[in-house]
C-alpha cells in the first residue's frame, strides 16, 4: 500500500515537471534556436540561476527561469522568450517570442502545441499592426502630404513579465519619424504600449 502511494505521488510529480518551461525548452525545435545543441540547452536550465554557455556563434545566456517562463539572451541584439499559456485543464500552448533589437526592437510571436506543432497565430492573438495603437489612421488623414510621408511598416516589440500571462506590445514609431512627424502623429495615438490579457485561451 505504501509503495502504491509513493508511486502515485512520483507519477504526479512527473506530470507536473513535464509542464514546466525548461522541459519544453529542451525539446524546442533547432530552427527556433539555431546553433544551440541539446546539451547546451540542458546546461542552460540545469538550475534557476543566470547561466551562460558558449556555442558556435558566441554565447547564449539564460536571464529568467520560472516554472512557466524562460527568457534567453541569444546574442547582443537578440532574445527569445518561452511562455506556457493555459488553455484547458492541464493543457498548455507554448508561446515563443523572438526579438531583435538593433536601432529599434522588433518581435516575432508564434504559438505551438505541447509537441511543438506550429499553430495559427490568429487563434490566439489579434493581428498586430500600427492601427492597434492609433485612434484613427493617419493614412486616412485629409493632410495627404503628411500621410504619404509616413512609413507603412513600424516595428512592434512584444514581451512577457517574469510572472503572469499579460503580453506587452510596444510601438516603435519615434525611431522612424522626424520630430515634426511625431508631433503630428501624437494626437492620433492611444499610447506607446498596449497590454493584452490572456483570457479564454486567447489574448484580448
pLDDT at 11: 39
Helix (H) or strand (E) holding 89, with range, is: none
Query: Tens digits of per-residue pLDDT, 105-139?
Result: 999 999 999 999 999 999 999 999 888 898 866 66
Instruction: Please give the DSSP secondary-structure letter assigned to residue 112.
Output: E
* Number of domains forming the structure of the chain: 1
pLDDT at 132: 86
Is the pTM of the predicted complex or chain greater than 0.75?
yes
Contact 152, 176 (CB under 8 A): no
Q: What is the chain's length?
A: 204
Contact 176, 103 (CB under 8 A): no
C-alpha span between 13 and 17 (Å, rounded): 6
Contact 81, 97 (CB under 8 A): yes
Query: Tens digits of per-residue pLDDT, 16-68?
Result: 345 799 999 999 999 999 999 999 999 999 999 999 999 888 899 999 999 99
Structural domain for 72, as ranges = 2-203
Distance of CA 60 to the CA centre of its chain: 17
Mode of pairing for the β-strands spanning 156-160 and 167-171: antiparallel
Amino acid at each position: 500500500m505504501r509503495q502504491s502511494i509513493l508511486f502515485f505521488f512520483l507519477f504526479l510529480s512527473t506530470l507536473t515537471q513535464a509542464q514546466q518551461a525548461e522541459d519544453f525548452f529542451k525539446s524546442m525545435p533547432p530552427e527556433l534556436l539555431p546553433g544551440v545543441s541539446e546539451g547546451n540547452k540542458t546546461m542552460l536550465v540545469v538550475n534557476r540561476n543566470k547561466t551562460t554557455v558558449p556555442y558556435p556563434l558566441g554565447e547564449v545566456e539564460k536571464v529568467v527561469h520560472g516554472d512557466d517562463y524562460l527568457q534567453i539572451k541569444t546574442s547582443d541584439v537578440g532574445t527569445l522568450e518561452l511562455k506556457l499559456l493555459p488553455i484547458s485543464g492541464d493543457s498548455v500552448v507554448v508561446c515563443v517570442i523572438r526579438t531583435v533589437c538593433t536601432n529599434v526592437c522588433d518581435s516575432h510571436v508564434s504559438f505551438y502545441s505541447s509537441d511543438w506543432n506550429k499553430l495559427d497565430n490568429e487563434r490566439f492573438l489579434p493581428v498586430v499592426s500600427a492601427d492597434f495603437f492609433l485612434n484613427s489612421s493617419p493614412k486616412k488623414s485629409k493632410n495627404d502630404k503628411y500621410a504619404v510621408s509616413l512609413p507603412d511598416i513600424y516595428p512592434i516589440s512584444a514581451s512577457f513579465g517574469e510572472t503572469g500571462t499579460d503580453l506587452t506590445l510596444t510601438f516603435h514609431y519615434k525611431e522612424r519619424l522626424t520630430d515634426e512627424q511625431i508631433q503630428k502623429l501624437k494626437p492620433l495615438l492611444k499610447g506607446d504600449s498596449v497590454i493584452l490579457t490572456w483570457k479564454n485561451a486567447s489574448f484580448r
